[in-house]
Structure 1
Amino acid sequence: MPAPGDEERVAFLGVGLAVACGEPQATQQLTQPKVQILAAQQPQQDERCVDVDDALERLQGEALARMLGENGRWQAFWCCLLSAFQGASTMHIFCFVFQTIAKDYWCARPDTAPDMDVSLWRNLSQPDGACSVLNLNYSLLTETADTSETAQLIKCNNFEFSREDGSARSVIEEFGLVCGREYMVSVVEMCFLAGAAVGSVSSGWISDRFGRKHTLMGFVLVQIVSGTLIAYSVNLAMCMSMRVFAGFASMTVTVVSFVLVVELVSGKWRTITGILNILPVPISYILMAVIAYFVRDWRNLQLAITLPWLCMLPMWYYMPESPRWLLAQGRLNDLYALVERAAELNKRTLPPNYKKTLEAAAPAPIPNPINASATAKSQLTNIQAQQQHTLPAFMIASERGGHTIEAAIAGTTEAVPEIHENPLKVVFNRFYWRTTCLNLIVWLTLIIVYYGLTLHLSNLGGDIYLNTIVAGAIEAVTVCVSIFVVLKVGLRCSLIAYMLVPGICCLATNLVPTRDLNQTAVVALAIIAKCIIGANNAIIPSYTAMQYPTVVRNFGVGMGNLAAGTALMLVPYMWLLEHVDPLLPMSIMGVCGIIGAISLFLMKDIEH
């Protein structure tokens, strides 16, 4: 086969791939042999079409990797900076744990006896707990007065809280969320998580439409503004509404920064950087605990975790857009400038025809739906027999063992949806309905276990500051170790183990004898479960994406995020069940972990 010349490197890739799926109009355009498309025989039992978008995406990634390298100084620099955004969002998600730490409280002393000793006041006035008080004139009472039989109990309207932390106030104290209003703590928390749920689902569409860079930095600004307004809330309604915006922004920042990081690198580095991108999360737990220990007032704490991120806004000007997004959008001039800067920093020499190569890899519009008719396959066979020239060299072979066009096209065996087809119908069609249902179960159970433990570790007792620091340190080590585990045993086995072990640990907490006397053992098991399942947060998005063809891949991952958002809103109410039975929340999380592991086992083994 003759080597391609310079002119032949400009392959009509979009047209060629359209022909591969039997596009008649594209067939007419190939009057001169320009592209040799290698395709494997389709399985006889199913008339399935080649996944054109998936092949094109692989070729685009291969083109960029050949020019920039799979990883280099440019990628490492920006991956490290972008990981910091995970820390900002984690602090906003996690700060509510410290803003609602329980304090001792009692009915407020009357104006007629403001200086009465607290112990004396509580003994005289509140025989039935802190939510009611005897209706008496306490200025006339003595320490020995017997009032229990002659006075009526009335409901408290004002409360005083313990001043062990000095003048610091919590959200509970600020808005009086006690005595019949305790449930509002879960409602306030749910407001943030509801915003996060919507953000997790919509962030993919927003970043696809407006780009990773502008979506990320735009919502960083929203995060800063809403976080600041939370600190200056004048009432509970304002606090709740601002928390919705903060939750939406925080989850969008989390998702988009992750996507941008993995789109800057190629090859095995996508898995490695995807996991390392989550490393700031446990580190932020440690930092959050340290800050909260010294800044006890909830308003000051909110400002302390919000305002420092103003220093990140100048990155908006310098931050690169995702090269894969620029290529997919056909914004070649912007891509040329980015590639030249990145190659210079990576000390790589661009080939003289690199612009033609990128132009060839840019997707061509396909006006009509893809079909897999027998006539189209016959046309493809005839065209293949006529082709004499090769694709551009980077599409034929990779010095790093990357995908060839043959492998990219022939490696796909799943049915491909039409590009105008409703994606909801696609993910629930006869080929993908099982995958989608299992995907929903996995995301739902994963988030219930992880955030159920993360946001409510204080419910298990012990020192919340110390427990958070220990859990964060162990989880950071677990995330680092998981890289080697994934590379060694694969994604699927790692995910199953990281779901099964936490589930067993959660159930084991209920087997600890005389649980109240063995609180250390309970907390230790919970921390182990939290740290192990934390590694799945970095792995599950990539694994889910592998289950779907490109044309519905974002929607498939979005379905998982929808389940995750539902789980986020359920977490606060799950912990209210401890008032019914203290063992229920940990039992539910244990069962969820086991169900999630079984669901992962039943999913397709896409690695083999």
Structure 2
Amino acid sequence: MCDNEIIDMSSASLLENCDECGDQNVKNKRKSNGQTPIIIVGSKAPLSDIEDFEDGMTTPSSPVGAAGDKEKQQQPQTEKTSSDPISQSIGNFGRWQFLLTFLLSLVNFPCTFHIFSPTFEGASRDFWCARPEGFRDLPVDLWKNLSGIFSVVSDGKVKYDPCTIKDMPLPIHNYTDVSVTFSNESVPRKKCLHWEYDSSGFGETIISEWDLVCENQQLNNLAEMMFLLGVAVGGLASGFFSDRLGRKKTLMVSLLLQIVLGLGIAFAPLLSVYLVLRALLGFVCVSVVFSGFVLCMELVGGKWLTISGVSYLFPLPIAYIVISGIAYYIKDWRNLQIAITVPAVPFLALWWILPESPRWLLTMGRVEETFEVLEEAARVNKITLPANTHKLLKQSISKVESTEAPKVGLGDLFRTPRIRKISLVLYIVWFSVYLIYYGVVLNLSSLGGNIYINSIISGAVEFPAIAISIVFLLKMGRRWPLCLTIVGAGLACLLTVLVPEENFNWLTITFAMIGKFCISSSNVVMPVYTAELFPTIMRNLGVGSSNVPAGVALMLVPYLWNLADMSAKMPMAVLGTCGVIGGAAVLLLPETDNLADTLNDIE
């Protein structure tokens, strides 16, 4: 009989681990290299390198008091368990871990607010060339008929051109003369320089304040792209700062900068200042999310790596719903910006609540500080630390130093045929998932219908998508769930193309929300699968490099709906095609049973 059993998190199966079983490949499968992968937002629940997926399951996951602690200390310890002194000392999950991971998940609220804010702050609406002095009391429809330029579009409808106006001599006192004299097509025209906006659905927006219409229309897309550019760059850089400064410091500094930049945007006097501040805000927002996520993952062990990592993302859909309610009552974009920034202020108190990551402290060789954190965790979890905790911590440092992973470079991602295939296919998958996810989330106003209701529905469908992803990760593997959810999202987007434009907008939104449900699940499974596919020596590099095509997708999202000028169905058709291609590409990847340490293990 085997002495111990370890839960294999990649297949959720029980593997025997003992010398009598003769399975030396299971015992001591891997050694941690002490690094933490860089994860992108939305980055949903990747597993840290500092622990294997099976890690910590040889110890009780819940403290049971002093008697239980004595029994636990008397249990024979596998070598794998001794390589994880954190979980061995305080357990995989308890009251301490629950309280801290819950608080950390809440920092997602202000970050999600800022990501989603352009949906309301830059909402498109009806506009027309401004009425000159003396025409201010003229009804808008009459003014359009008198001064506007109209054309017949492909579907036979008459379209008003708000960017051009008839070149009428002013002042004019007889409206009848205007309509008769200037109704001929030969009337000279001129570009409109000032506009008026429909204020029935929104108050002042960045579009109406800075006239981001007609020739300046692309500046609105640029404003959104600047934030997403900051997200893409911040996704690559946040791991660097977090590994060197610590998780807590990176989180708190980023949180403070988020508040300062968020308030600065609300008072931006110029569009250029707004663009720069939005880019910086995107950088620090993703740093808040990533450093909080890494700290969350480094407080738990065993199967709770997956559960806590996914649960960390539950505030996202709630935030979508909350900001919809805030934006419904606060119409002016500057006041809305203040309203979504201020809720982050109470989180500054986390400086006195959150500990530094004990795993990061240990990799830095700071044994005494690690021990202090473990003492506090044991007190809250109502357990007693093992008597040899100090010894285990020091042994862990010696082991990490003696087994330090060799340096790898970008070229190693393409050095062998198998790892090259994995890298290239994952780039396609990450690009597809991010393009579809943010293409739907950030363009809800382009789908038609009520933008507030669409946003609430979008948030609501993400709840079950995140929850079901936990089941996928624990019970059903990675490859087929990821393939089917991406393809499902693509097919749902393609089905919107078949919906007639008249009187069937509800059906378009239904298919779009089905696509949102599927791609939300993909967005959770994908980073976990990616972290498992790369060997330990290059897992940071592999996950980080996958952020590059994801960042490209993020920067393309604001311009996606420009394709609607060619055809109203074109944007969703592009998303659907990417979904089918990205989902099919997943089938080129292997299923993950065990984590690999080296390239030789992959080959």
TM (norm. structure 1) is 0.80
Within 5 Å, give how 1:493-572 maps onto structure 2. Answer: 493-512=480-499, 514-572=500-558
Quickly say closer, same or farther: Cα 1:74–1:587, change in 2 above 3 A.
same
Alignment partner of 2:291 out of 252, 256, 263: 256
Give the CA deviation at 1:106.
Answer: 1.4
Aligned partner of residue 546 in structure 1, secondary structure: helix
Is structure 2 residue 324 aligned with structure 1 residue 316? no
Instruction: Report how many residues are paired.
Output: 515
Verify the 8 A CA contact 1:447 1:567 in the aligned structure 2: yes
Q: 1 CA distance for matches of 2:341 and 2:195? A: 30
Tell me how far apart the structure 1 counterparts of residues 585 and 513 of structure 2 sit (CA, whole Å): 24
Q: How many Å separate the matches in 2 of 1:189 and 1:83?
A: 25
Does the 8 Å contact 1:67/1:348 carry over to 2?
A: no
Pair 1:157-2:189 in alignment: no
**Structure 1 unaligned spans of 5+:** 1-35, 43-48, 371-417
| d(CA) in 1 for partners of 2:296, 2:83 | 14
User: Does 2:132 match 1:133?
Assistant: no
- Say whether the 8 Å CA contact 2:478–2:592 is kept in structure 1: no
Deviations 1:226-266 (A, max 9, x none): 11111111111111111100111111212222221111111
For the pair 1:194 / 2:229, whether they are aligned, the reply is: yes
1:272 aligns with 2:259: no
Contact 1:193–1:568 (CA<8 Å) still a contact in 2? yes
The one-letter code sitting in structure 2 at the alignment partner of 1:544 is: T
| Segment of structure 1 superposing worse, 350-359 or 502-511 | 502-511
Q: For 1:306 and 1:109, locate their aligned partners in 2 and report how far apart those are by CA, in whole Å.
A: 36
Q: Do 1:51 and 1:549's aligned partners in 2 also have CA atoms closer than 8 Å? A: no
Equivalent of 1:436 in 403, 423, 431: 423
Is the contact made by 1:61 and 1:266 (CA closer than 8 Å) also made in structure 2? Answer: no
Cα offsets for 1:432-455 (capped at 9, x unmatched) = 222111221111111011111111
- In the TM superposition, residue 366 of structure 1 has moved relative to its aligned partner by 5.1
Whether the 8 Å CA contact 1:199–1:252 is kept in 2: the answer is: yes
Task: Map residues 452-531 of structure 1 onto 2, 5 A cutoff.
Answer: 452-512=439-499, 514-531=500-517
Residue 391 of structure 2 corresponds to residue 356 of structure 1: yes
Selected match of 2:282 from 215, 222, 247: 247
Q: Does 2:119 correspond to 1:69?
A: no
Give, in whole Å, the separation in 1 of the partners of 2:32 and 2:135.
80
Q: Please say if 1:209 is aligned against 2:235.
A: no
Inter-partner Cα distance in structure 2 for 1:205 and 1:363: 23
Amino acid aligned to 1:569: M
Partner of 1:13: none
1:227 equivalent among 251, 256, 262: 262
Among 107, 110, 115, the residue aligned to 2:132: 110
Q: Which moved more, 1:254-263 or 1:237-246?
A: 254-263
Residue 124 of structure 1 contacts residue 147 of structure 1 at CA under 8 Å; is this kept in 2?
no
Q: Which structure would you say has the larger RCO, counting Cα contacts within 8 Å and 6 or more residues apart? A: 1
| 1:103-148 per-position Cα deviation (integer Å, ceiling 9, x unaligned) | 2211112234433333333222224432222333454332311231
Moved more, 334-343 or 574-583: 574-583
TM-superposed CA distance for 1:425, in Å, is: 2.1
Relative to structure 1, is the Cα distance of residues 462 and 57 closer, same or farther in structure 2, using a 3 angstrom cutoff?
Answer: closer
- Say whether residues 1:579 and 2:559 are aligned partners: no
- Which residue of structure 1 lines up, in the alignment, with residue 106 of structure 2? 84
For structure 2, list consecutive stretches of 5 or more residues without a partner in the other structure. Answer: 1-18, 35-48, 53-79, 151-160, 595-603
State whether residues 132 and 154 of structure 1, in contact with CA within 8 Å, keep that contact through their aligned partners in structure 2: yes
1-structure distance, mates of 2:578, 2:511 = 16
Please say if residues 169 and 298 of structure 1, whose CA atoms lie closer than 8 Å, have aligned partners that are also in contact.
yes
Once the two structures are TM-superposed, the CA of residue 152 in structure 1 deviates from its matched residue by 2.9
Identity of aligned residues (%): 38
* 1:97 to partner: Cα distance: 0.7
**Residue 176 of structure 2 aligns to a residue in which SS?**
coil
SS in 2 for 1:581: coil
1:365–1:271: structure 2 CA closer, same or farther, 3 Å change rule?
A: closer
SS in 2 for 1:140: coil
Q: 1:61 to 1:259 in 2, by over 3 A?
A: farther
Question: Which of 22, 39, 53 is 2:33 aligned to?
Answer: 53
Higher-Rg structure is: 1
Does residue 426 (structure 1) correspond to residue 412 (structure 2)? The answer is: yes
Q: Secondary structure at the match of 1:164?
A: coil
Q: What one-letter code is carried by the residue in structure 2 that aligns with 1:116?
A: L
Structure 1 SS opposite 2:415? coil
The answer to whether the 8 A contact 2:441-2:458 is kept is no
- 1:487 and 1:215 map into 2 onto residues whose CA distance is 31
Q: What TM-score do you get using the length of structure 2 for normalisation?
A: 0.81
In the alignment, is the contact (CA less than 8 A) between 2:495 and 2:511 conserved in 1?
yes
* 2:181 match: 147
How far did 1:284 drift? 0.7
Contact 2:479 2:590 survives alignment (8 Å): no
CA 1:51–1:479: 2 relative to 1, 3 Å: closer
Q: Could you tell me how far apart the structure 1 residues matched to 2:83 and 2:249 are?
A: 22
Amino acid across the alignment from 1:197: A
2: distance between equivalents of 1:110 and 1:511?
44
Moved more, 178-187 or 340-349: 178-187
Displacement after TM superposition at 1:272 (Å): 0.8
> Which secondary structure state, in structure 1, belongs to the residue aligned with residue 33 of structure 2?
helix
Bigger shift: residues 190-199 or 176-185:
176-185
Aligned to 1:238: 273
Q: CA deviation at 1:596?
A: 2.1
Q: Which residue of 2 aligns with 1:451?
A: 438
* Aligned residue runs from structure 1 range 158-173, under 5 A: 158-165=194-201, 168-173=203-208
CA distance in 2, matches of 1:153, 1:196: 43
In structure 2, give the amino acid aligned to 1:100: G
Aligned residue type for 1:147: T
RMSD of aligned C-alpha atoms? Answer: 2.5
Task: Write the deviation string for residues 532-558 of structure 1: whole angstroms up to 9, x where unpaired.
Answer: 211232332222111223332111110
Deviation at 1:66, TM superposition (A): 1.5
Aligned counterparts of 1:445 and 1:452: Cα–Cα separation in 2:
10
